[in-house]
Amino acid sequence: MVAIKSVIVLVLVLVLWSAIFAYSDEEVKNWCSQTPYPAPCEHFLTAKKTTTKKNRPIASKSHFLRVLVESAIERAVLAQKNAVALGPKCQNDREKSAWTDCVELYDQIIHRLNRTADRCSPIDVQTWLSAALTALDTCRTGFEELGVSAFGYPLTANNVSKLISDGLSVNKPASSEGFEPPSMNEGFPTWVKPGERKLLQSSAPNANVVVAKDGSGRFRTVSEAVAAAKGGGRFVIYVKAGVYSENVEIKAKNVMLIGDGIGKTIITGSRSVGGGSTTFKSATVAVDGDGFIARDITIRNTAGASNHQAVALRSGSDLSVYYRCSFEGFQDTLYVYSERQFYKQCDIYGTVDFIFGNAAVVIQDSNIIARDPPNKTITITAQGRSDPNQNTGISIHNCRIASAGGLSGVKAYLGRPWREYSRTVVMTSSIGGFISPAGWMEWSGNFALNTLYYGEYKNTGAGASTANRVNWKGYRVITSAAEASKFTVGSFIAGGSWLPSTGVPFTSGL
């Protein structure tokens, strides 16, 4: 209720602002003509006019962007109100599950749009606009995958989507592939503070709370410990060795989970689309709070391959780090949902689309391990960029792509395009011979084959040959170090130089 009241207050402020400053039809038309969706842009900006006050020109691109975002917030609030009102019309558990997701996702959308009003860089704005659009796509997808009517995704949401896309186009930085370049420090991105590096590397963490199955800690479950985090400074949760059968949602900022090691501290769940959940809500561990860090933990989803989408980890945490963790599942194991993420020395197991989502993510120095799929087809990635100006993608860098064995008669691919502008790059990685010579697989016919961006750069191993790769317009064998460097940890999610000892033949600043 408090969140809804705060949103209402914000909308009232925006309405008052609009009453003071209005714009002429001609200038609105001129500015909106530069966007992908000029018609809704003109309609909603013109609606902000008033004839009782003196017009104030839209003086700059930043002013125009602010007006677009304000209009998107107003429409998002209306869409959320409409979605909430549809709740009593849910006729079964599947409709209710998809509807519940949408109500939560509208909160995310409004929050991320509001963040763009803070003092932040154009790169941050692009990240949060990208995340807001991803949340809208996720709302619609929930209804589709459960096979129910998308009555929770009203026309209002389409207007929000178009206004956000217009904002992404207007805000697009001159160099849309990269981020501002802070340097690396001790092998971690610079957002990992020195004290946190010690926690990440320490064998005996100094935790705020301890979780233990045997009662030797303050809590017996991870969820109880997470509930104690209030979202201020860094809150460290040490989870002792044991198997914790629970679904954990982390909404507070700056939470750190530290375990006793892969295969020792295990969080496990079994929700799935086959079991009536949406993909979004199937996650064993779901992280929304920014600045999350995990170390030395295994996260599993044991629903099994026959239950379709079943997420182990869903991460929508901006500037999050996952270090020496294992993610185990079958279809849709690791949901890199949104924002900026970094995975280092992790193990990722799955069968179909088992690294998927629409974050800006680099997975580095990790083991990506394919399991035997029931339908005899493996797809490692399914990246979900739905707008050409989103600064998102999956970068697999210096990893080992291997199989768990037993793949007789199986066809395996590096990825397929979940959305129209899907973007995935595999660089300086070892690719096992189980990968098909074509390398990549269609999603559905010719969908996205001309608009995707799939690249491979200096990979090795029996499956690395690009001689017989797909000939799609969007696929490329990257030969330029400058192009490949756009997808490194330094350039793509944190800026700056390469991680130490990766062996990639580039220098800082490329």
Domains in the chain, ordered, with CATH? 25-171 (1.20.140.40), 209-502 (2.160.20.10)
Confidence of residue 13 (pLDDT cuts 50, 70, 90): very low
Amino acid found at 482 = A
The catalytically annotated residue of 166, 288, 353, 387 is 353
Helix (H) or strand (E) holding 313: strand 313-315
Contact in structure between 449 and 419 (CB atoms under 8 Å): no
Flag whether pLDDT at 81 surpasses 60.
Answer: yes
What mean pLDDT, rounded, does the chain reach?
A: 85
Q: What tokens appear for 216 in the block?
A: 């030797």
245-299 confidence digits (pLDDT tens) = 999 999 999 899 999 999 999 999 999 999 999 999 999 999 999 888 899 999 9
Mean pLDDT of all residues in 441-464: 98
Beta bridge partners of 426: 396, 456
Flag whether pLDDT at 182 surpasses 90.
Answer: no
| Lookup result for tokens 């989803």 | 301
Flag whether pLDDT at 12 surpasses 80.
Answer: no
SS3 424: strand
211-238 confidence digits (pLDDT tens) = 999 999 999 999 999 999 987 788 999 9
Selected residue with higher pLDDT from 272 and 178: 272
Say whether 353 is catalytic.
Answer: yes
Confidence of residue 52 (pLDDT cuts 50, 70, 90): very low
Mean pLDDT of all residues in 436-457: 98
Flag whether pLDDT at 183 surpasses 50.
Answer: no
Contact in structure between 468 and 435 (CB atoms under 8 Å): no
Contact in structure between 134 and 384 (CB atoms under 8 Å): yes
Confidence of residue 8 (pLDDT cuts 50, 70, 90): very low
